[in-house]
Amino acid sequence: MEHDFWHQRWAEGRIGFHQEDVNPFLKKHWAELKVASDETVFVPLCGKSRDMLWLREQGHPVVGVELSDAACEAFFAENDVEPERKSFGGYVAREVDGIRVLCGDFFALNSELIRESRAVFDRAALVALPPGMRRDYAVYLQQLLPTGSKVLLVTLEFEGESGPPFSVSSEEVEQLYGERFSIRCLERFECEDPRDAGRSEVVWLLEDKAAE
């Protein structure tokens, strides 16, 4: 997916992926990661997701990365907070009370910029990318993450190739992450809305096999 594709989606307000409420799978399953509340959580391709607020409410410092400046701006404006804005490692960083949103390309990050986070929440990031980019994304994410990391990942499964969002099979999750992480399916939710017939949301817990 080219950067312009996303910039255009944000400019035109075609952001059907955005959820007004905190993601229910995050609330339901986050505790299963057993991440200490003072550990930083990384939210890749974060959009203006309210999930970052919820994670902060649990005590975690949060770092998100998002390509669209409009999305970064909207996250703070819509939550009635005025962030401090500064240039940081080649990104425009907006920060307030433990939430830092880096505006720029995920593929230019380094682990220092994400405060060496060992916990990740991926909702609508992996599935936003076409197959080749998913491989690159998974490789890059794993390079960023230190030993002992954990990921709560939400994927979608449905018939068909078009996207975003894209369908990501269990086999693909295994191919992308199975070498490094032990992978547990926490929930498979069959969408009930007839417009989403045949679509499932799948929640995965990835835990680094290597001891810390």
Q: Which residue is nearest to ligand SAM (CB)?
A: 47
The CA distance from 164 to 144, in Å, is 24
Q: Which amino acid, 6?
A: W
In the complex with ligand SAM, the residue whose CB is nearer, 67 or 182, is 67
- For the segment 45-74, give every residue that binds ligand SAM (CB under 6 A): 45-47, 49, 65-68, 71
The CA distance from 37 to 196, in Å, is 35
**Residues in contact with ligand SAM, total (CB under 6 A)?**
20
In the complex with ligand SAM, the residue whose CB is nearer, 119 or 128, is 128
Q: Interface with ligand SAM includes 140 (CB under 6 A)?
A: no
- Strand pairing class (62-66; 99-103): parallel
Contact map string, positions 175 to 194, toward ligand SAM, x by CB under 6 A: --------------------
N-to-C CA span, the chain:
35
In the complex with ligand SAM, the residue whose CB is nearer, 69 or 178, is 69
CB of 88 to ligand SAM, least distance (A): 15
Q: What are phi and psi of 188, to 5 degrees?
A: -125, 115
Q: Interface with ligand SAM includes 155 (CB under 6 A)?
A: no
CB of 12 to ligand SAM, least distance (A): 12
In the complex with ligand SAM, the residue whose CB is nearer, 79 or 178, is 79
Q: Interface with ligand SAM includes 91 (CB under 6 A)?
A: no
Q: Interface with ligand SAM includes 145 (CB under 6 A)?
A: no
Q: Interface with ligand SAM includes 201 (CB under 6 A)?
A: no
Neighbours of 109 (CB within 10 A): 22
| CB within 8 Å of 161: residues ≥ 6 apart | 167
The CA distance from 137 to 201, in Å, is 20
Q: Interface with ligand SAM includes 143 (CB under 6 A)?
A: no
CB of 188 to ligand SAM, least distance (A): 19
Instruction: Give which of 54, 108, 53 is closest to 83, Cα–Cα.
Output: 53
| CA dihedral angle for residue 156, residue 158, residue 163, residue 168, rounded to 10 degrees | 50
Q: Interface with ligand SAM includes 123 (CB under 6 A)?
A: yes
The CA distance from 167 to 173, in Å, is 11
- Strand pairing class (41-43; 119-123): parallel
Residues that bind ligand SAM (CB under 6 A): 6, 17-18, 45-47, 49, 65-68, 71, 105-107, 123-125, 128, 164
